[in-house]
A and B are shown apart, each in its own frame.
Chain A
């Protein structure tokens, strides 16, 4: 059974750094793209980026390029999303997602979702 288990909720002060995690199981982690989706309070879903664990090839949405860093640790089947300096506008729920690829290129749909990590940025 495929599972994506995310780290717990965080309350962070503006300007601090943060890394949240997503541990995958039930499939070959190195061979499936994994990504992140943001949902701001009461708002819609926004695709942030994806990474291919085998070689760390990473693709970012233009809206998030330079704002976040996506990485993986293949040895523990875990993907990460990190910020170097958080702002109040980063307050949101963040979901990790697995991409079901339909061909050799990173295109397809998101078939499994983590439970979400709520990040609250407040002083």
Chain B
């Protein structure tokens, strides 16, 4: 499977909202409601932020939200804060017990 397509970088000022897109195909993003998003700070392990397209795990701020339209999923961060500066990866189930990740997006808080 090919990696999902994410923008290399997205930036915003504190308090603003930003969105990160994740584009796949009908075989992955478009075919299943099993898109998840992970936040990774430098030198740390990834952390689950969104699962099953739009659900937040307990403890994750409600400033993070997810959605999907067709073959493209999106992660929105509202009320951007300095602590949100990190890399973000999308991931989708791709059928036949396989998963595919996106290339990652570096979020910069200006």
Contact = CB atoms under 8 A, between A and B. Distances in A.
Interface of A: 37, 44-47, 50, 59, 61, 95, 100, 102, 105-116
Contact of A44 (B47, B89, B99): B89
Contact of A108 (B34, B38, B100): B34
Contacts of B51: 100, 109, 111
A113 B100 contact: no
Given A102-B34, A109-B34, A45 B101 contact: yes
Nearest to A116: B45
B52 A44 contact: no
A111 B52 CA distance: 11
Contacts of A50: 97
Interface string B92-110: 0100011111111000000
Contact of A106 (B47, B91, B97): B97
A106 B32 CA distance: 13
